[in-house]
Structures are given as C-alpha cells and as structure tokens.
Amino acid sequence: MESNNNQGVFKIAIGVLIGVVALLSYLFMGARNETFELQQSITSKVEQLSSTQIKLDSISIVLNEKIAEIQKLGGNVTELENVKAQLESDKKKLKSDFNFSVQKYDAKIKEYENFLVVKDEDIRKLQEENGTLLARTKTLEEEKQQVLTENTGLKTEKASLVQTVSEYTSQNDDLKRKVTLASAMKAINVQVAALASNGKVREGGLYKASKINKLKISFIMPSNPVAEKNNKEIFVRILDQNGAVVSEDGSAGTVSNDGKEIGYSFKQSVPFENNDQKVDIIYGKSAPYQSGKYSIELYSEGFKIGNGSFQVK
C-alpha cells in the first residue's frame, strides 16, 4: 500500500517538473525573441542616425563652399552664416538626441537643401552682375588710358610751367630778401653809460657796480632811403660774462632772429625819423651787476642791428 503511494507522489513530481521545464522554455524563447527585436530596432536607429549625420555633414560642406563663392563674388553672406550656425547646432543636438526622429531631421534636411537651391540662383545672378561689371571696368580702363595718353602733352607743358613759376618765385624771394636787408635799420656807435642814483652820468665803459643805478644805451640810427618812417621796436639783449641774458622780472621776453627764438632783456619803441638820429634808451634793474664784461646786442625787425659792451669792476 505504501509502495503504491510513493509511486503516485513520484509521478506527480515528474509531471510538475516537466511543466516547470516547459514554462521556462516558453519564457526563454519569448525573451530571446524580444532581445532580437530590440537589437533590430537599435540597429535601425543607429543606421538612421548615421545616415542623418552624413547628410548634415554633406550639407555643411556645400554650405561652406557657397559662402566662399559668394564672398569671392562680393555678395552678402550674413544669411548663409546664420543658416550655418543653425546647422552646426542641429549636428550637435543629433549626438545627444534621445528622442531622435528621422522624420523630424528629414524635414530639416529638406529645408537646408531648398535653401541651397535658392542660393545657387543668387550665385548665378552675382556671376552675371560681376561679368557685366568686369566688362564695364575694362571699358573704363580703356577710356582712362586714352585720357592719360591725351594728357601726357598737357602734363609736360604743366611741368615746364611749374618750373618756370618756381624759378620766378625763387628770384622774387631773393629780390624780397635783398630789399628787406637794404631797408633794415642799423645802430652804429653804440655807447653804454652808467647813471648813478643821484642822476650823475659816467661814461667810458668801465664802472663800479655801486655806481650803476641805470644804464643809458646810446646809438646813431643812420638814414636809409629805402626804409620806412615809422615806430621801430628795439629789442635789447644784455649778456653777462657767461652769455646769460640779464633781465628784470616783467620786462624780458623772446624775439625771433633767423628763425630762432632768443631771449631779450627789454624792448622799447623808437620813432624812426630817417635823419641820422641819435637814440638814448634807459634801462634799470633792482639787482646789482656782478663784476665782469657785459655785451649789448640790439635787434629790430628780425635783424641784429648793432652791438656794444661795458665792464663792471
């Protein structure tokens, strides 16, 4: 009786085992089929991504060629640059687009292709315009050469005339300078006297510093038939033994001589009467004179007209 029961349990176990094996076999086959379908889907997606990437790269190459060509023709490439920036953005997004849709990118690719077709027409028009401009430029160049040839004689005549005018101008400048030099004043027999504080005048050119309150500079202005009678500005330079300009605050300045600015001690306006007149100019300064030899230089109307000297002991 017990043996029969054991056999029944064994049969039941075998049946259950067979059922489990059958179920596992079914599940394994189903999973295998799903894996195969997933692999096929992934392969398809990779192929679509690769194809889309190739198309975008191809469009990018053509777009760069169009930009270069339009630039060479002198056209505006702003719109092309904007489209290029958008294309690069789409290429970048494609690499990380987890929701990749071949339909969406096909539509973008179609738009890019249509844009390139339009630009082909623009390039054709630019080429025609450039051809017209080149022809016009050639015509203008020919006309220019003709005008240049016709003007060669005129240029030669003009150069000759300019040379003649230059020579006359040089001669005229020479004449003006000679007239200016001839009309320049002269200061002759320049003498320097010392005035004491009591008004006593000392002459001879050698003075004690304590006896010099003011200087009296005297000279003769010879008559000159080509000089004008008018007020002449006389600039006086008093130079010490070191060549420094002696001056009092407020009376000194600079004067032009032979194109250079030089300092002067003081200036005085003198009415020129053109009659060998004698001129006296008084100059005083608060500081005492140091021992040594002093030079006097007189300037007027841009020329040095005379000079003298005195000595302080």
The residues facing 312 across adjacent strands are 207, 292
d(CA 295, CA 236): 10
Element (H, E) at 264: strand 260-264
Sheet strand arrangement including 201-202? 201-202, 188-195, 214-221, 277-284
End-to-end CA distance of the chain: 169
130-to-118, 127, 140, 158 alpha-carbon distances in Å: 19, 5, 15, 39
Amino acid 123: pLDDT = 81
Domains of the chain, start order: 32-150 (no CATH), 188-312 (2.60.40.1930)
Q: Which of 21-30, 31-40, 148-157, 280-289 has the lowest mean pLDDT?
A: 31-40
- Classify the phi-psi angles of 106: left when phi > 0, otherwise alpha if psi is within -120 to 50, otherwise beta: alpha
Give the pLDDT of residue 139. 78
* Overall size of the chain counted in residues: 313
Least confident of 24-28, 46-50, 93-97, 290-294: 24-28
Q: Give the residue among 39, 12, 119, 22 at the shortest CA–CA distance from 76.
A: 119
CA distance 59 to 113: 7
The pLDDT-based confidence of 269 (bands split at 50, 70, 90) is very high
Closest by Cα among 197, 198, 225 to 284: 197
Region 156-185: what's the mean pLDDT? 58
Q: Which of 36-40, 131-135, 160-164 has the highest mean pLDDT?
A: 131-135
| 238 has a pLDDT exceeding 90 | yes
CA–CA distance, 79 with 56 (Å, rounded to integer): 18
Residue 39: its pLDDT value, please?
60
Contact 236, 268 (CB under 8 A): yes
pLDDT tens by residue, 57-112: 888 888 788 788 888 878 787 888 888 788 788 777 776 665 666 677 778 788 87
CA triplet 229, 232, 234: central angle to 5 degrees?
Answer: 155
> What is the rounded CA–CA span in Å between residue 38 and residue 15?
35
pLDDT digits 0-9 by tens, 241-252: 999 999 887 788
Could you read off the pLDDT of 108-154 as tens digits, one per residue?
A: 788 878 888 877 887 888 777 777 777 777 777 887 888 777 777 67
Residues 139 and 145: their CA atoms lie apart, in Å, by 10
**pTM higher than 0.75:** no
Q: What is the pLDDT of residue 179?
A: 45
**CB–CB of 203/193 below 8 Å?**
yes
8-state DSSP, 301:
T
The CA R_g of the chain, rounded to the nearest whole Å, is: 55
